[in-house]
Structure 1
Amino acid sequence: MIELGRINNLEILRDTSVGLFLGDDEGNDVLLPNKYVPPTYEIGDKLKVFCYLDYDERPVATTLEPDIMLGEFRLLQVAEVNEFGAFMEWGLEKHLLVPFREQRVKMKEGQWYVVHCYLDERSSRLVASNKLDKFLSNDNIDLKVWEQVDLVVTRQTDLGWEVIVNERHKGLVYFNEVFKPINIGDVIPGCIKTIRKDNKLDISLQPLGANVLEPAATKIFEVLKEHGGFLPLHDKSSPEDIRDTFQMSKKTFKKGVGTLYKARKINLEADGISLNED
């Protein structure tokens, strides 16, 4: 089956004047226009291509990889607004439409918005929406505490950053647990910190529990080497100085330093920490 909005691994069936026809195992085929044909190929080779509808609403393939695919949430820029809606830049020749009915606020040319790509059942076209909540649900969560997840940052609230978890759920990263710059639209890894009784998800941007020790220790060790083997930071340093240097909390810093000290990788000085040269 050739899937619109996704990467398909298709076989080269035949060469024509307009391009290559590619096919799946079910007898379906799609055109790969000449501009995307690789310099060398043989009939029977497999190609990975993205499939969507062209300007004439016909299925077409491309070797370009778009900035968003079916079912994903991504930050895109508006290229044009006309009587049909807003058209987003997504890395392909034909822009991605956000109909007016799918705009949470009226979109403006040149502005950036987090949108969701879906297949419109009436037209069979790939379109987008920035009414994100209608595509998210926390009713059935098959996740565990400490499980690593993929996040898309969507907006800033009074408590922290709202994120989309695994393209399905909503979560929150509290401000006091953010130790590195993040922005709307960032696609970043995280961990499930808490699953509340109402199924709200608290998210951490760093591994939890004992898992944080080794990455923290490694980060401190590497930064020490970059700074010539000494840093004027210790357990009396301010949380802000530690965060600016290591992008971690003071608590995590102290655990990482403890790990390195026990492993005899560093020395604890009166005015900082240094690498153990022994």
Structure 2
Amino acid sequence: MIKVGHRQELKVNNISSIGAYLDAGTSDTKDNILLPNNEFVDLDIKVGDSLNVLIYRDSEDRLIATLRETKVVAGRIEKLEVVDKAPIGAFLDWGLNKDILLPKDQQEIDVEIGKKYLVGLYEDKKGRLTATMKIYKFLLPSTKLKKNDITTGTVYRINKDIGVFVAIENRYFGLIPNSEAKYSEFKIGDEITVRVIRVREDGKIDLSPRQLSYLEIDEHSNIIYKYMENNNGILNLTDKSSPDSIKKILNISKKSFKKAIGNLLKNNKIIKIEKGFKIIK
């Protein structure tokens, strides 16, 4: 059975002036699939040869075979670049001359030409290969991740009532619950590093953008100290500074700032001055 969007082994049934026709597995030779001449210019292909090809539909919805490797196949997800836009949607480069359509109703956000987005590839009701940013159904449960593991992923959906949905390693189910998402700002397409806080029985993973408490304090302490080193050893912030001021200068929360400052003071790295803090030399 022919599977559109997948690689498969097909035998050469006959060769004509326009290309090689591959056996589609039916009794009617009219069902055979064309491998155009430009696909095997430097290859010596003969009747009876078995070829590993990918099947897709051309601009006239005819099944066509290609020997070329694509960036993704049906049922999988990959980051693909937007190369054009039209009223019906966006067109993505997946490695062939005919680009893949990402319909408007399959976009999570308004995509931009030149940027890459994480999409899944599927066969629509008319048998055409189509891309979607709604990739939940393409993701898998994970059996390898454990609590407190550090991993990476891509944000693919944000639900204000639930949290931030993440494709862990662009393959597995991940969620940053609202209780954890409040510590950072996210947007669709962000590539992030996260910590596993819970592995559910169904293999879905709850995540946090925060490290373990003691590691997080050390990280934020280093951020503050490096900033001070580059600012003549001075930090013009105090525990009375506004959260917005702290976020703008150091990109950490006020709560994290106070913990890190306390850590630096305790370890005699800095001293308190009238308008902030100073490195101890």
Interval containing the TM-score (normalised by the shorter chain): 0.5 to 0.7
Q: Residue 162 of structure 1: which of 149, 161, 165 is its match?
A: 165
- Cα deviations across residues 143-179 of structure 1 (Å, max 9, x unaligned)? 3222112221123322443322232103025377555
Alignment CA distance shift 1:201-1:268 (3 Å) = farther
1:208 aligns with 2:212: yes
- Cα deviations across residues 116-162 of structure 1 (Å, max 9, x unaligned)? 33476xxxx97533332211355x65432221122211233224433
1:151 aligns with 2:153: yes
Distance in 2 of aligned mates of 1:127 and 1:259: 53
Q: Residue 84 of structure 2: which of 70, 76, 79 is its match?
A: 79
Secondary structure of the residue aligned to 2:196 is strand
Match of 1:42 in 2: none
Alignment CA distance shift 1:151-1:217 (3 Å) = same
1:96-245 alignment runs, 5 A limit:
96-98=100-102, 104=106, 115-118=118-121, 128-137=131-140, 142-159=144-161, 160-166=163-169, 167-174=171-178, 177-178=181-182, 181-195=185-199, 201-245=205-249
- Cα deviations across residues 70-95 of structure 1 (Å, max 9, x unaligned)? 8435475372559xx85533375542
Normalised TM-score (structure 2): 0.60
Alignment CA distance shift 1:260-1:72 (3 Å) = farther
1:254 aligns with 2:262: no
Looking at CA atoms only, which structure, 1 or 2, has the larger radius of gyration? 2
Secondary structure of the residue aligned to 1:57 is strand
Question: Which ranges of structure 2 fall in alignment gaps of 5 or more residues?
Answer: 7-39, 44-49, 59-63
Root-mean-square deviation (CA), in Å?
4.8
Normalised TM-score (structure 1): 0.60
Distance in 2 of aligned mates of 1:109 and 1:233: 39
Distance in 2 of aligned mates of 1:236 and 1:110: 41
Question: Which ranges of structure 1 fall in alignment gaps of 5 or more residues?
Answer: 6-17, 22-27, 31-50
Q: Which amino acid aligns with 1:57?
A: A
In the alignment, is the contact (CA less than 8 A) between 1:165 and 1:171 conserved in 2? Answer: no
Q: Which amino acid aligns with 1:58?
A: T
Distance in 2 of aligned mates of 1:107 and 1:225: 40
Alignment CA distance shift 1:184-1:109 (3 Å) = closer
Q: Which amino acid aligns with 2:172?
A: R
- Cα deviations across residues 194-237 of structure 1 (Å, max 9, x unaligned)? 44678764422232222212221111111112333212222233
Match of 1:8 in 2: none
Name the % identity: 23
